[in-house]
Amino acid sequence: MKRSIRFSDRLANWLPRLVLTPSLLVVLVAVYLFIAWTGWISLSSSNIVPRYDFVGLEQYVRLWSTPRWHTAVANLFIFSSLFLGLTTGLGLLMAILLDQRIRAEGALRAIFLYPMALSFIVTGTAWKWILNPALGVQKVVNDAGWTSFVFDWISQPRFAIYCVVIAAVWQSTGFAMAIFLAGLRGIDNSVIKAAQIEGAGLPLIYRTIIVPMLRPAFLSVIVLLSYVAIKSFDLILALTNTGPGSATEMPSTFMYAATFRRDQMGVGAASAMMMLMTVAAIIVPYLYSELKETRDGC
């Protein structure tokens, strides 16, 4: 006596796959196909409109012979290293301070984190005003009596990029803090107690035991913030608008300007591909290791 399988049951077996398919297709098109498309444009002679021919690496050669692009790459390097270093360091410091059974911890945490809720455009607008030499911080210090104090980085081509760093660090430290704090809270207290019984002081315990245990948190913070650094675009437009001159040009702003303003679609696509490759070099190994670990976990 074998009961026949109903059609609805067979459909039920396929339903999960059917449900996932649209998302998969959309992402395959909007992420992977579009990347390939951009890649193709970067190998074509496209200028004002896309042209689907093939000129080899011509656009990449043009890109790398553009002084502005060199500025952008140099700026990205300066910006990323300072941004990563400061955000990680400051975030770790905040997390450790907050982890000392502090009164009003919740309020302080909220204060350190609120900039993350703001748009980079809002941040940029605010800091542009604060860093304004005529009316901002410089004037406050001058009025307070220190008349020789000069803080006009935002109008100095050599220093403007550091203004971007300040604003970006202000915005993103809370993120690093949140992840470090989560990491600290995950550490078994008995480890600290055991070290205390052996006579180690708190600074030593932090340096030799706790910070090394935060390795996964460091990895997450650095990887995710690198991604933020590479794609940062709105902050620069709002704060310096890539100026003075092109002193704060970054790959993201270069790509946008080349594509939509200077009718160099091919060069823009080439710069986009350079950005993508940089991000992929950082993110893909990270995702792979995260996914692999979860697979081992079960």
Partner 1 sequence: MATLEIDRVRKSFGSVEVLKGVSISIADGDFLVLLGPSGCGKSTLLSMIAGLESVTSGEIRIANDVVNDLPPKDRDIAMVFQSYALYPTMTVRQNIEFGMKIRGVQPAERAKATLAAAEMLQMKHLLDRRPSQLSGGQRQRVAMGRAVVRDPKLFLFDEPLSNLDAKLRVDMRTEIKRLHQRLGTTIVYVTHDQIEAMTLATRVAVMKDGVVQQLDDPQVVYDRPANTYVAKFVGSPSMSLIPARLAVDGAGAVAVFDIPNEKPARISGIPIAKENATKFNGQNVLVGIRPELFTVSDGKPGRTISVHIDVVEPTGPDTLALFQIGGVEVTARVPPKTVEARKSATLTVDTTKIVLFDAVTEDRID
Partner 2 sequence: MAANVRSRHRQHATGRALIYGGLLCLAAFYLMPLWVIITTSVKHLDEIYAGSFIGLPKEITFDAWRSAWSEACNGTACKGLKPYFINSLIMVVPAVILSTGIGAINGYVITKWRFPGSNFIFGILLFGCFLPFQAVILPMAQTLGFLGLAGTLAGLVLVHTVYGIAFTTLFFRNYFVGVPDELVKAAQIDGAGFMRIFVSIMLPTALPIIVVSCIWQFTQIWNDYLFGVSFTAGENAPITVALNNVVNVSMGRKEYNVDMAAAMIAGLPTLIVYIVAGRYFVRGLTAGAVKG
Q: Which is nearer to partner 2, 5 or 117 (CB)?
A: 117
The Cβ of residue 287 has, within 10 Å, a number of other Cβ atoms equal to 12
In the chain the first and final C-alpha atoms are separated, in Å, by: 39
Q: How far is the CB of 8 from partner 1 (least distance, A)?
A: 9
- Assess 52 for contact with partner 2 (CB under 8 A): no
298 binds partner 1, rule: CB under 8 A: no
**Residue 121 contact, options partner 1, partner 2, none, Cβ 5-8 Å cut-off depending on partner type:** partner 2
User: Interface residues for partner 1 in 10-49 (CB under 8 A)?
Assistant: 12
Q: Which is nearer to partner 2, 31 or 194 (CB)?
A: 31
Q: Of 12 and 280, which has the nearer Cβ to partner 1?
A: 12
* Of residues 216-255, those binding partner 2 (CB under 8 A): 216-217, 220-221, 224, 227, 230-231, 233-234, 237-238, 241, 251-252, 255
Considering only residues 49 through 88, tell me which ones interact with partner 1, judged by CB under 8 A: none
Burial of 171: CB neighbours in 10 Å, binned 0-12, 13-18, 19+: buried
Using CB under 8 A as the binding rule, whether residue 277 contacts partner 1 is answered as no
Residue 69 near residue 264, CB atoms below 8 Å: no
Residue 5 near partner 1 by CB under 8 A: yes
Touching partner 2, residues 132-151 (CB under 8 A): 135-137, 139-140, 143
Distance of CA 264 to the CA centre of its chain: 26
CB 177 within 8 A of CB 113: yes
Which of 256, 257, 267, 270 lies at the binding interface for partner 2 (CB under 8 A)? 256
Q: 150: left (phi > 0), else alpha (psi -120 to 50), else beta? A: beta
- Residue 17 binds partner 2, judged by CB under 8 A: yes
DSSP letter for each residue of 41-76: HHTS--SSS------TTHHHHHHHT-HHHHHHHHHH
CB nearer to partner 2: give 100 or 147.
100
Residue 2 in contact with partner 1, rule: CB under 8 A: yes
Of 77 and 158, nearer to partner 2 (C-beta) is 77
Using a CB cutoff of 8 Å and minimum separation of 24, what contacts does 272-277 make? 272/38, 272/42, 273/38, 273/39, 273/42, 274/63, 275/230, 275/231, 275/251, 276/35, 276/38
Question: Would you state the structure tokens that stand for residue 227, as one six-digit string?
Answer: 């991604």
Q: Is 283 in the site for partner 2 (CB under 8 A)?
A: yes
Closest by CA to 136, choosing from 152, 122, 115, 124, is: 152
Name which position in 45, 66, 125, 156 contacts partner 2 (CB under 8 A): 125
Assigned token pair, 5: 């399988």
Q: List contacts with partner 1 (CB under 8 A).
A: 1-3, 5, 9, 12
